[in-house]
Amino acid sequence: MRGGRGALAALLLACCLPLPALAEAPTTSPRPLLRPVSATPEAAPAPEAGMLPSDPALAGFRPPMRPATLAVAPVPPEAAAPEAPPGGVLLAAIRPLPRPERGAPQAVEPVAVAPGKRSKAQKTAPAPAGICGLRGVTGRKIAAIPGKVRGCGLEDGVEVTSVSGYALSQPITADCETVAAFQRWLERGIVPAVGKRGGGIRRVEIAASYSCRPRNNVRGAKISEHGRGRAVDFAGVTLKNGEVIDVLSGWKRQPKILTSIHRSACGTFGTVPGPKSDRYHQNHIHVDVARYRGGPYCR
C-alpha cells in the first residue's frame, strides 16, 4: 500500500512540473562530412613559410597547386634585399642585367719590324722638319757673318750639308730663302733631268755659296749676291755609278740634261746665267734669288 502511494505521488509531481524549453536554431551551417581518404594517400607537402599550420582534420589532402613563378635574376650580395620577415617570403625584385662598364682603351702593342726594314706607318709618315723648317734639309744654324766691306754679310744664315737626301760636295752657306729655292730646283729640275742615269744622283757638286766679293770678282763691280748669302754656284752631279756630269765638259757632251737643268732654274731664281751667258760661267750655273722688274734673268 505504501509502495503504491509513492509511485502515484511521483507521477503527479512529474505532470505538474514545467516542460523544458525547445533548443534554439543553429547559427552556422553544419560542417560537411569529409570524403574518405584513399588507401595509399600521397604525402602532403610540408607547409611553406608564411602559411598557417595545417589542420589535423585536413591530413591526407593535397593543397591546390600554386602557379609557376617567373625566374628572377640573382641579386649581387652588395645589392641584396633585407632578410624576409618571419612567416613571410621576400622575393628578389626583377631587375635588368647591368650594362658592361666601359674599360680603359687597351694599349696597342707595337709591331716588331725586322732590322733594316721600315713599317708601313714609317714609310707613309712625313720626314721631320729640318733646317729652316724644310723637310729633308740637314745642317746647322750659324752665327751672323759680319761683312768685310759695305754690302756684305749674312745676319741669319745656315750651313746645309744635304738636301732632300742628296749629299753636297761642300756645304751651302746662305739664308733660308735661298736654301728653300735650291731645294725646289733640285727636286723639280735637277733630279728629273738626270733621271735613272747611272743609278741616279749620289752627290750634288757645289762650286760656291756665301763669299764677300764683287760680281764676277771684278774689282769695282757691285757686290755679288754671294756676298749677301743669296746665291749658289752649281757645278754638276756625280752619279751612283761614279759618272760625273759637270757643267764645264758636259754642256756639250750631255746638252739635253744640262740644258734642262738650266731652264728649270729660271723662275725659281731671279738670276740664272750659264755657260752661254759669258766667259765667267763656263764651269757652273749661277743661281740667286734677286728679283727684277723685267722678270728673271736667264741666259
- pLDDT tens track for 205-227: 999 999 999 998 898 899 999 99
> Which residue matches cell numbers 750631255?
254
Would you state the pLDDT for residue 81? 46
Q: Name the class of domain 137-298.
A: alpha beta
Mean pLDDT, range 230-247, rounded to an integer: 97
In the chain, where the domains are located: 137-298
For CA atoms 194, 197, 201, 206, the dihedral sign is negative
Q: What is the pLDDT of residue 88?
A: 47
Of residues 291 and 3, the one with the higher pLDDT is 291
Instruction: Give pLDDT, residue 47.
Output: 46
Please report which confidence band the pLDDT of residue 268 belongs to, taking 50, 70 and 90 as the band edges.
Answer: very high
Averaged pLDDT of the chain: 76
Please state, for a pLDDT cut of 70, what percent of the chain lies above it. Answer: 57
- Confidence category of residue 8, pLDDT binned at 50, 70, 90: low
In DSSP terms, 163 is beta-bridged to 137, 166
Q: What average pLDDT does this structure show over 81-106?
A: 52
Hey, which residues does 246 pair with through a beta bridge?
236
Residue 174 predicted with pLDDT over 90 = yes
